[in-house]
Structure 1
Amino acid sequence: MSETKVFLLPDLGEGLTEAELVNWLVAVGDEIRVDQPIAEVETAKSMVEVPSPYAGTVAVLHGEPGQTLDVGKPLISVTPIGAKSLGEPVDTSAPVVEPLETAAETYREEEKAGSGNVLIGYGTPGGHGVARRTRARKQPVVEPVETGAVATRTPVIEPVEITSAEKTADDLLLLRTRVPGKLGAVISPLVRRMARDHGVDLGGLQGSGASGLIMRKDVEAAIAPAPAVARPSLVEPVETRRSVIAPDETRRGETDSRTGLGITARTPVRGVRKAVAANMSRSRSEIPEATVWVDVDATALVEMRAALKKADPHNTPGLLAFIARFVTAGLKKYPELNTRIVTTEDAAGGESQEIVAFDGVNLGFAAQTDRGLMVPSVRNADKMSARQLDAEIRRLTAVVREGKATPSELGSGTFTLNNYGVFGVDGSAAIINHPEVGILGVGRIIDKPWVVNGELTVRKVTELTLTFDHRVCDGGTAGGFLRYVADAIESPGSVLADM
């Protein structure tokens, strides 16, 4: 048996179950060390480098740039120095039948192996490429199975023997009944927890992962079976899969049946665009939103910032930082907009909803990047000054544009501020960033005619637009919050003096 080690794409966490392979950083035959970056992958959250938990010679690269890989699928095969190499390339299209304990332990070792930073925010513990056992395991029992005149030997999976102190809810979900010829290992605590919470019997599932391992998508399918969707077979050659999503050259001559027009390209919805599409669709389908807006005279704010910049050209906050400060103050005054709707299950098995309030504000802000729209959040923004907010907004903007933002930086917001004025537009009925309950948009600041003390004059005017979840508050609260922010922009000195 070959000593080549196969490193599986690790559990990404945060509900992420796949990643697009962007670029290989090594080639077959290269010698690599532990924690050396081997590939760049793009998830719905960020672009990251994946380090190897093994040292040795690269034997097989499982995938090509542009291919989407599922968590738990082979990423790279490494032959340790001095070990016997593979006699032929690994065929990843066919599952390798191995005992349940071996398959499950292999994945556990991959997750525990030496890399400390497999994906941003989700490292694997250790650092030596060795997974320590936490409990003893029994060898799989093999019993003969009669099939006509020929007797074959099929692995029969026995329950894992554990001590009474180890019989936690998650551990008990690893128990298996006799299912000849089927491997039912669970490779992630997230999968086990999901199955437990929804009452899914893991012993009755057919895993789609390597060696029959049960993946998150298998449990999701058991919870709510999805309609059949035609998609490329996982065992097709890479060339065939690539042709299904190839751009222009393979689409020339194809005609759209509805419009009669020629099709120039088909672009797969994946990565950030896929995540944004799913989140926006969920927001529109679940949140009964309403929108209010107001024109605001921002002349005083613009003049105040100009005076500060003249006194200190290198340490003056931007206008967005001042508005962010006003927003956090407004959310303290109207905390209903800094909440979240949570659906829970009551004792009778029915569903109920509750509004969860937070002790603090994590202020998200929309940032346009080459990878699409990202919404990083300034944590504990309500405790920051305008200068501190400005510095953090600039830092996070640079991080997301480099594709280095962590899941916590992208998924922890409680309210969003959207400055679409930078695109030269005045207003927008924005979609709430689910699961938040409000988003405030700021249009461009332009010269407009304005009445001041009964006289017509030219002022710096912008439009504020608030979209809110009507389940958490009514128009009075939304209007009060919007008016508070508008008044702060029109009279920034008096408001800042009270902060």
Structure 2
Amino acid sequence: MTVKTFLLPDLGEGLTEAELVRWMVAAGDEVAVDQPIAEVETAKSLVEIPCPFEGVVSTLHGEAGQMMLVDEPFISVNTGGEEAAPASEPEMERAQSYREEELAGTQTPSSEAETEAESESDEDEGSGNVLIGYGTGSAQRKTSRRRKPRGVGAGAALAVQESSEAVRVINPLVRKLARENALDINSVKGSGPQGLILRSDVEAALARPASEQPASLPVVQEPMQAAQASASKPESAAVGGSKDLRTGLPVASSQVLSGVRKTIANAMSTSRREIPEATVWVDVDVTKLLKLRSKIKETEGQAPSVMALISRFAVAGLQRFPELNSRIDVEANGSLRHTLFEGVNLGFAAQTDRGLVVPNVRDAHKLNAQELSAEFARLASVAREGKAAVADLSGSTFTINNYGVFNVDGSAAIINYPEAAILGLGRIIEKPWVVNGQLKVRSICELTLSFDHRVCDGGTAAGFLRYVADAMTDPKRALATL
């Protein structure tokens, strides 16, 4: 019997973990090459994981709701065609790998030794299927390197001397989870080999009411560790999991942000922290635009969406004001690098059950309004289904946010970091409007532009916004020049 263990593949964009949403197979099931076996949720999207082996499922290395690490065992398959048996050997391999990393930091500097080992992946035929940078072909080889253990500081060393045994957890993700939730890692009982503290142990400790938490052991912390622990401790921690200390109100729910919600929160915070933004806005008469769209629909049977028409004008405007289709990066020496792009990858905000995501139409400058409308519909659909690929949700250079669908007039949108600007569309509503000295009822839309003031001044931003607004006001003339 041959049992092969499939490691969770690289999910792209530097993502190191994913939440296991559900298994699509069970132990004992027969699986084929490239058959979807599970759904995992990353910070970017919901991804189906295909199986690179054919055989009988031996072991599922995780449960629904568990955070899985890249390059850790995901599923074991008996490829010998016999009845599946417990995969003790792959499990031991996982424990050994985890053990080496977890115990790395308990070594003192004097006992450290740097070793390197290279291992080659099995040369059996794989499916050849590529999952976001991961190939299962036999030509692919994987090299692993044991890094030099990091020595502990003086304060941590003192804590080790005062304790009969060092805490067996050095995995940064596990420690980070405990630190962010103000949990003393010394109070956690490990369920892994030789008392190894796993992520599941920390999560179980966090789920217990405060009254049931074990007393923590005295540990001497280094100044930086103490500062981090103090900064991460919430001011309004719940008492016994029932009441909020700050307000005195019962706590309905409390959870650490993860997945898409965590990514959104981090992106918004980074944008506000890094980008000195300013906002300009203008009310636009779109009566002629709506009439033009109606005529196109009558003659051709279908018409591009209003957002697609406006997007076409925006893309043309970016070619005239390229500073807004750019990015600023901070280099290692602290200097700022301003990069302008020749093409446009047009992002658009889409509300889904998993949160706000920004799919993007690549090479939008090559598409007409009808093609843009079709791409918006397609990408919005796959995003709401949770099937958008990483490439669909990254790489945009300019974003349009149609918050008018929420029946609001305007908003100073937060720039989609690291882009330089975001264009916002408000709802279209009939208002009294002066036309050639006469008061008439017209269809009005508020247009806003939030921009990075480092890439341009207000004159450039106003010029772009005015160009788009004028095109919306007189669309026939604008389309004739595109």
* TM class by smaller structure: 0.7 to 0.9
Partner residue, 2:454: 471
Contact 2:115–2:148, Cα closer than 8 Å, also in 1: no
1:56 is displaced (CA, Å) by 2.6
**Paired residue for 2:358, among 339, 358, 375?**
375
Contact 1:17–1:216, Cα closer than 8 Å, also in 2: no
User: In the alignment, does 2:274 pair up with 1:260?
Assistant: no
Mark the CA change 1:382 to 1:239 in structure 2 (over 3 Å): closer, same or farther: same
Could you tell me how far apart the structure 2 residues matched to 1:57 and 1:86 are? 12
1:131 is displaced (CA, Å) by 5.4
User: Structure 2 stretches of 5 or more lacking a match?
Assistant: 101-113, 152-167, 191-195, 213-237
Q: One-letter code of the match for 2:133? A: Y
Mark the CA change 1:478 to 1:269 in structure 2 (over 3 Å): closer, same or farther: same
- Structure 1 residues 36-115: aligned runs within 5 Å: 36-81=35-80, 85-86=85-86, 90=91, 94-96=95-97, 105=119, 108=121, 114-115=126-127
Q: Secondary structure at the match of 1:14?
A: coil
Contact 2:423–2:449, Cα closer than 8 Å, also in 1: yes
Partner residue, 1:162: none
TM-score (norm 1): 0.74
Give the paired residue count. 411
1:321 is displaced (CA, Å) by 0.7
1:229 is displaced (CA, Å) by 5.4
- Per-residue deviation, residues 81-130 of structure 1 (Å, max 9, x unmatched): 257943769479843579x9998536x559x97244464x334141xxx4
Partner residue, 1:158: none
Mark the CA change 1:20 to 1:317 in structure 2 (over 3 Å): closer, same or farther: same
Partner residue, 2:336: 353
- Structure 1 residues 5-404: aligned runs within 5 Å: 5-81=4-80, 85-86=85-86, 90=91, 94-96=95-97, 105=119, 108=121, 114-117=126-129, 119=131, 121-126=132-137, 130=138, 184-185=145-146, 202-205=147-150, 230=183, 235-236=197-198, 238=200, 241=203, 244=206, 254-313=242-301, 315-345=302-332, 350-404=333-387
Identity rate, percent: 52
Q: One-letter code of the match for 1:114? A: G
User: In the alignment, does 2:481 pair up with 1:498?
Assistant: yes
- Per-residue deviation, residues 324-377 of structure 1 (Å, max 9, x unmatched): 0000010011000001112234xxxx3321211111111111111111111111
Could you tell me how far apart the structure 2 residues matched to 1:460 and 1:352 are? 46
Q: Secondary structure at the match of 2:449?
A: strand
Contact 2:402–2:425, Cα closer than 8 Å, also in 1: yes
Q: One-letter code of the match for 2:32? A: R
Mark the CA change 1:133 to 1:379 in structure 2 (over 3 Å): closer, same or farther: closer
Could you tell me how far apart the structure 2 residues matched to 1:253 and 1:245 are? 9
TM-score (norm 2): 0.76
Contact 1:450–1:458, Cα closer than 8 Å, also in 2: yes
1:271 is displaced (CA, Å) by 1.3
- Per-residue deviation, residues 1-55 of structure 1 (Å, max 9, x unmatched): x953222211212021111101011111222232222111111121121112223
**Paired residue for 2:406, among 413, 416, 423?**
423
Q: Secondary structure at the match of 2:243?
A: coil
Contact 1:364–1:378, Cα closer than 8 Å, also in 2: yes
1:274 is displaced (CA, Å) by 1.2
1:438 is displaced (CA, Å) by 0.2
User: Structure 1 stretches of 5 or more lacking a match?
Assistant: 135-170, 175-183, 186-201, 207-211
Contact 1:21–1:69, Cα closer than 8 Å, also in 2: yes
Q: Secondary structure at the match of 2:315?
A: helix
- Per-residue deviation, residues 244-274 of structure 1 (Å, max 9, x unmatched): 4699xx9996111111111122233111111
Q: Secondary structure at the match of 1:105?
A: coil
Q: Secondary structure at the match of 1:480?
A: helix
Could you tell me how far apart the structure 2 residues matched to 1:71 and 1:78 are? 18
Contact 2:3–2:80, Cα closer than 8 Å, also in 1: no
Q: One-letter code of the match for 1:494? A: R
